[in-house]
Structure 1
Amino acid sequence: MNPRHLALAVGLAAVWGFNFVVMQVGLRHFPPLLYAGARFTMAAFPALLFAGRPGVQWRWVAGVAATIGVGQFGLLLVGMRAGMPAGLTSLVLQTQALFTVLFAVTLLKERLTARRVLGLAVAFCGLTLVALDFGVSGPLGAFALCVAAAAAWGLGNVVQRRAAPPDSLRFMVWVSAFSAPPLLLMSFLLEGMPVLSAPPEGWLSLVYVAFVSTLGGFGVWGWLLRRYDASTVAPYTLLVPVFGMSSAALVAGESLSLPEVLAAALIVCGVLYAGSKPRRDPLTPGRRRPLSRLPAALQRRG
């Protein structure tokens, strides 16, 4: 990635990392499926009236809505409501990078380089260190729901990569429109009649997750996926738990231990290494440096 796209990927990780603290606030006032349905309803309307057609076949819109909209966020919010804390959730969900790479290699036949393997290995050492230090404090079922949400996100990344929508923001508006009805229907069937009375912090939470995290975040995410392989973009989401756990410590008062700080350093180094390209030595075998670029002493010697 070039420096501007790299900065964009890191900024997106910061937005999504803080998103876990925001969602934890929202779940104090809304049931999880209703919260997810309301999120996508706000993201879709009234933007849907001005967005125009998504520019891809409808099956791709439905596929991303099923995997990321309903699958990822439905499972994630139910898991958080069942007891997963924001910091640990931001960590567990980033196993989607592994699922994305696996799905991309098997379904899209993308090439997995040794540099990416090594970078992902270093980053996942950091994730493992955080997990061992933090511990699975929530119920096992809630933990499993978050892992399933990560798998759904990984599959959705590959579907979106295959769809290659020409306009990521417009595409995300339609994905939101397709995601909202099944989530609201499941909320009605499983959570009962909706209760929309909430204090301002609950509604502000919805505004953030709908417009900043969903439309803005996934718009940028799709834009990056159209320019790079899914297995190149996905590792940058490993930075999300760094920002998620930091914001949880600053805003929610969750403690940040020394092993977690060391793990964050491993994650950053691994992600940057996996996403970077090796510099080619101009004097490598098979390539010769032009004579005009050699020092004058060497030119005279030749």
Structure 2
Amino acid sequence: MSGLDKAGALLVVVLWGLNFYFIHLGLLDTSPYLLGCLRFLCVLFPAIFFIKKPNVPWKWLILYGLFISFGQFSFLFGAIAAGMPTGLAAIILQSQAFFTIVIAACMIGERVKTYQILAMLIAGVGLGLIAFGQYQGQLPVLGVLLVLLAALSWAIGNITVKYVGAVNPLALVVWGNLICPLPFFIAAVSIDGWQATIEQLQHWSWGRIISLAYLSWVASIVGYGLWGKLMSKHSAASVAPLSLFVPAVALVVAFFVLHEPLNQWHIFGIAVLLIGLMVHLLLPSLRKTA
């Protein structure tokens, strides 16, 4: 992975770490599934009028949207509704890295290098420490299962990107999410009720507008655009583990912006995560230099 690609990967980590603050902001006056519907409507419009459809069969675009967007976030929202703590859900969601690598190895035959396994093990320990510090009570079993399904859905979406190959990443994000607003809207009406959904659409706040702008244009178009480009260029084992470091950014942002406390387990876990990140990004270059 080149230095430019590494910088792009780190940018994605930062953007997705900030993502959780803007999700929090949007959920203050918007139900989860309606927020998902509005998010992907903003991804589509007006971009779909200016970005040409990628030369990809419709089946791959539909699979991309169903798994990496609707499947991932519908399961995640369902887990939170089932009582799963949001911070812990964000941590468990990063298990998609392990799912992605296993699926890529089984279906595509990609090889996993020793330093990548070492980096993932170190990052896994760091995530475990953060999870212990984040929530030390009983976990809702249904919530955990739903988050794992969300992670699996994201992983399958990553493999779909591998099958799609090298295309315009922005076009893939925009056209791949063409069908997403509809199932999100159906879920919103089914769960919240028609009247509540209409009332939310009639009243808009600056918080919702700012949240949607970030979630759609920054986290989705820029973040998933860069992520898709990296996934198409490099092996899953090189790219997927980078998402493991998103919770560290999210915790730091929550500490400074939302004034959520950082305990010793959080700090220790973030330090271990940074060691894993250095192993993943720097060890190959150090070995070549040596």
TM-score, normalising length: structure 1: 0.87
For the Cα contact (< 8 Å) 1:123–1:266, is it kept in 2?
yes
In 2, Cα distance between equivalents of 1:280 and 1:204: 45
Task: Decide whether aligned partners of structure 1 residues 165 and 281 sit closer, same or farther in structure 2, where only a CA change above 3 A counts.
Answer: closer
Aligned length: 282
Q: Distance in 2 between matches of 1:69 and 1:97?
A: 16
CA shift at 1:170, angstroms? 0.8
Larger radius of gyration: 1
Whether 1:251 and 2:257 are equivalent positions in the alignment is yes
Q: What's the offset of the Cα at 1:151?
A: 1.4
Residue 152 of structure 1 aligns with which residue?
Answer: 153
Q: Deviations over 1:245-292 (max 9, x none)?
A: 11111122211112211211211221332344262478xxxxxxxxxx
Q: Is the 8 A contact 1:24 1:80 kept in 2?
A: no
Match of residue 201 from structure 1: 207
Distance 1:47 1:281 in 2: 44
Report the equivalent of 1:178: 179
Cα distance in 2 for residues equivalent to 1:271 and 1:75: 28
Q: Distance in 2 between matches of 1:34 and 1:126?
A: 34
- Could you say if the C-alpha distance between residues 69 and 136 of structure 1 is closer, same or farther in structure 2, counting changes exceeding 3 Å? farther
Deviates most, 260-269 or 57-66: 260-269
* Distance of 1:32 and 1:144 partners within structure 2: 19
Contact (CA 8 Å) 1:55, 1:165: kept in 2 or not?
no
Residue of structure 2 equivalent to 1:239: 245
What is the alpha-carbon distance in structure 2 between the residues aligned to residue 213 and residue 83 of structure 1? 25
**Partner residue of 1:7?**
7
Gaps of 5+ in 1: 283-302
* Cα distance in 2, alignment partners of residues 179 and 69 from structure 1: 7
How big is each residue's C-alpha offset from its partner over 1:149-175, in whole Å with a ceiling of 9 and x where there is no partner? 111111111111111241000110012
Indicate whether 1:30 and 2:30 are aligned: yes
C-alpha RMSD of the superposition: 1.9
User: Identical aligned pairs, as a percentage?
Assistant: 29
In the TM superposition, what is the alpha-carbon distance from 1:132 to its structure 2 partner?
A: 1.8
Relative to 1, partners in 2 of residues 1:172 and 1:281: Cα closer, same or farther, differing over 3 Å? closer
In structure 1, what residue type is equivalent to 2:239? V
One-letter amino acid matched to 2:284: K
Unaligned 5+ residue runs, structure 2?
Answer: none
Question: Which residue number in structure 1 is paired with residue 41 of structure 2?
Answer: 41
CA distance in 1, matches of 2:24, 2:80: 8
Which residue in 2 is equivalent to 1:88? Answer: 88
Which among 215, 218, 224 is matched to residue 218 of structure 1? 224
